[in-house]
């Protein structure tokens, strides 16, 4: 019988990194040590633990990593709690890739890039950022604004500190919500920080984070003169099938799992306001 999209393959967790008190990053390969499938930046995969459930996660590693995939997962329910309790060597199931990727090879090509993330929203952006770093000469200047509740809630701080911050032509702007001992960086919410930094509009902006952050940051960017056609984001809706059939992620005439999760912000205006 033909292959069935709903039937996953087995994956093995080969590394678990503790990022923050409630986010861990899991490295996944097939039992024979390979990457389960190819993907593009912004695409997602369905991970499951039989008997517990299945959930959708952004593939946070870059497609240029041909050895494995990584997922940064925030603990918030059945599947995610179970994963947080798992050990290296644990098998899970994986299917994908799902969704529309970021247009890294067309609309983004040759552009200055501004990445703006809040909390675990860095997960989908990390894939694009590392893709852009890998093909550095295909893109212009890169700015990254990343904020979280506290210093301890910043995802993948080591990579940010030792790789992104040391790259030429990449400026990283970190912020945390409240003052904290041992933090001499910026304090304040992401949308305000973006306005303070006052970026030129000669770039493409990519936004990801909680819905409220996306809303205010988009408004801030528009105040700076950005047009919605220059701003991309990803949506997060409840998903089950990942292939546009179960109806769960339907908003207007779009299925976020296959028509998204990546949208250009002007495309969002064509959707009813329920995402």
Partner 1 sequence: MRKCSTANLDALLRTIAENASLYLPVDGTDGRAHFTKWEDGVKMSDALNTVRSAKDFFFPQTENLMDFKVEGKTIEIIDTREECEDFVIFGVRACDVRSFDILDRVFLVDPVDTYYKNRREHGIIVSMACTRPSETCFCRTFGIDAANPGGDIVCYKEEDAWYFDALTEKGQALLSKLESLTEECDTAAVDAQKDLIRERMDKLPLADLTADAFGGDKLNTYFNAPEWKSLSQSCLGCGTCTFVCPTCQCYDIKDFKTNKGVQRFRCWDSCMYSDFTKMAHGNNRTSQLERFRQRFMHKLVYFPANNEGIFGCVGCGRCLSRCPISMNIVKVMKELGGNA
Ligand X SMILES: Cc1cc2nc3c(=O)[nH]c(=O)nc-3n(C[C@H](O)[C@H](O)[C@H](O)COP(=O)(O)OP(=O)(O)OC[C@H]3O[C@@H](n4cnc5c(N)ncnc54)[C@H](O)[C@@H]3O)c2cc1C
25 contributes a contact to ligand X by CB under 6 A = no
Minimum CB distance to ligand X, residue 73 (Å): 4
d(C-alpha 43, C-alpha 27), whole Å: 16
Residue 58: strand, helix, or coil: strand
Q: Which of 239, 262, 265, 268 binds ligand X (CB under 6 A)?
A: 239
249 contributes a contact to ligand FES by CB under 6 A = yes
Classify burial at 219, counting beta carbons within 10 Å of its beta carbon; exposed 0-12, middle 13-18, buried 19 or more. Answer: exposed
Task: State which H helix or E strand residue 79 sits in.
Answer: helix 78-85
Minimum CB distance to ligand FES, residue 230 (Å): 27
Cβ proximity to ligand FES, 33 vs 77, nearer residue: 77
**Residues 259/264/270/275 CA torsion (nearest 10 deg):** 70
Pairing of the two strands 69-74 and 23-29: antiparallel
Instruction: Count other C-beta atoms under 10 Å from residue 27's C-beta.
Output: 19
86 contributes a contact to ligand FES by CB under 6 A = no
Residues in contact with partner 1 by CB under 8 A are: 1-10, 48, 50-54, 74, 76-77, 80, 87, 89-93, 210-211, 236-238, 240-241, 243-248, 250-253, 270, 272, 274-275
208 contributes a contact to ligand X by CB under 6 A = no
255 contributes a contact to ligand FES by CB under 6 A = yes
How many CA atoms lie within 13 Å of 26's alpha carbon, on the beta-carbon side? 29
261 contributes a contact to ligand X by CB under 6 A = yes
d(C-alpha 220, C-alpha 233), whole Å: 14
d(C-alpha 237, C-alpha 55), whole Å: 11
Minimum CB distance to ligand FES, residue 96 (Å): 12
The residues that touch ligand FES, with contacts defined as CB under 6 A, are 239-242, 244-249, 255, 257
The residues that touch ligand X, with contacts defined as CB under 6 A, are 44, 53, 55-58, 72-74, 76-80, 120, 123, 236-237, 239, 261
């Amino acid at each position: 019988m033909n292959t069935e999209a709903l039937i996953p393959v087995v994956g093995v967790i080969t590394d678990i990194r503790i990022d923050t008190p409630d986010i861990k990053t899991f490295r996944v390969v097939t039992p024979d040590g390979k990457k389960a499938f190819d993907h593009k930046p912004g695409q997602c995969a369905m991970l499951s633990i039989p008997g517990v459930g299945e959930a959708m996660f952004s593939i946070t590693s870059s497609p240029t990593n041909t050895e494995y995939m990584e997922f940064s997962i925030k603990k918030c329910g059945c599947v995610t709690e179970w994963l947080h309790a798992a050990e290296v060597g644990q098998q899970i199931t994986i299917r994908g890739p799902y969704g529309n990727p970021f247009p890294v090879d067309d609309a983004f090509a040759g552009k200055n890039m501004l990445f703006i993330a809040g909390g675990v929203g860095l997960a989908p952006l990390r894939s694009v950022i590392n893709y852009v770093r890998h093909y550095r000469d295909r893109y212009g200047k890169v700015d990254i604004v990343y904020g979280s509740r506290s210093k301890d809630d910043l995802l993948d701080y080591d990579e940010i500190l030792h790789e992104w911050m040391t790259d030429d032509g990449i400026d990283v702007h970190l912020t945390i919500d409240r003052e904290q001992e041992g933090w001499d960086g910026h304090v304040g919410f992401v949308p305000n920080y973006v306005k303070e930094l006052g970026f030129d509009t000669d770039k493409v902006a990519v936004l990801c984070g909680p819905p409220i952050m996306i809303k205010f940051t988009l408004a801030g960017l528009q105040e700076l003169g950005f047009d919605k056609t220059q701003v991309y984001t990803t949506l997060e809706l409840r998903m089950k099938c990942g292939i546009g059939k179960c109806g769960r992620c339907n908003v207007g005439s779009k299925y976020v799992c296959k028509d998204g999760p990546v949208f250009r912000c002007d495309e969002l205006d064509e959707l009813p306001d329920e995402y």
